């Protein structure tokens, strides 16, 4: 695993991440590949799920309904990540007394669903450059 100079590469996925952020190894959780943290309230995680016979659109709808159960989606749209059209959403949720903002990106590559989920305790706009760094450099190896 290469994590030199703010670059993560585990052979399956690679991306650049903000300077000063820390990679956490999450090998004990099935679909979670990696979490990169700024501090305890500001981070992003990458998940991968093999779709097998499951439809990607159905999987995204299920993910979206889970978010709606705990928060409010205020933006949905498309973006391009790794030359693939992805679905993105932005939402607020309040697990306890604290409100968090989240930006989730879902896309399909090689019959797998990938989810890149940013979570912050500040407005998403405050982390625009950090998110762009990850999104613009994200790559799935074939």
- Return all residues near 29 (Cβ < 8 A) that are at least 6 apart: none
Summary count for the chain: helices (H), strands (E) = 2, 10
DSSP letter for 45, please.
E
Say if strands 42-50 and 32-39 run parallel, antiparallel, or are unpaired: antiparallel
Q: What is the pTM of this model?
A: 0.93
Distance between CA 30 and CA 26 in Å, rounded? 9
Distance between CA 103 and CA 73 in Å, rounded? 10
Q: How confident is the model at residue 1 (pLDDT cuts 50, 70, 90)?
A: low
pLDDT tens string 10-37: 999 999 999 999 998 666 778 999 999 9
The pLDDT of residue 82: 97
The pLDDT of residue 29: 76
Q: Which of 14, 52, 22 is nearest to 141 (CA)?
A: 14
* 123-127 average pLDDT score: 96
**Residue 5 three-state SS:** helix
With b meaning 16 or more CB within 10 Å and e meaning fewer, what string describes 106-137? bbbbeebbbbbbbbbeeebeebeebbebbbeb
* 119-130 average pLDDT score: 96
């Amino acid at each position: 695993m290469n994590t030199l100079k703010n670059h993560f590469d585990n052979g399956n996925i690679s991306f650049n991440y903000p300077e000063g952020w820390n990679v956490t190894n999450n090998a004990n959780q099935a679909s979670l590949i990696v979490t990169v943290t700024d501090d305890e309230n500001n981070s992003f995680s990458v998940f991968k799920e093999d779709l097998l016979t499951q439809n990607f659109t159905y999987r995204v709808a299920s993910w979206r309904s889970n978010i709606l159960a705990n928060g409010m989606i205020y933006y949905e749209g498309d973006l391009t990540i790794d030359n693939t059209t992805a679905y993105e959403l932005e939402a607020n949720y309040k697990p306890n007394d604290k409100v968090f903002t989240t930006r989730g990106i879902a896309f399909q590559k090689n019959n797998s669903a990938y989810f890149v989920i940013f979570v912050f305790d500040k407005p998403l706009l405050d982390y625009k450059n950090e998110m762009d760094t990850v999104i613009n450099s994200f790559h799935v190896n074939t």
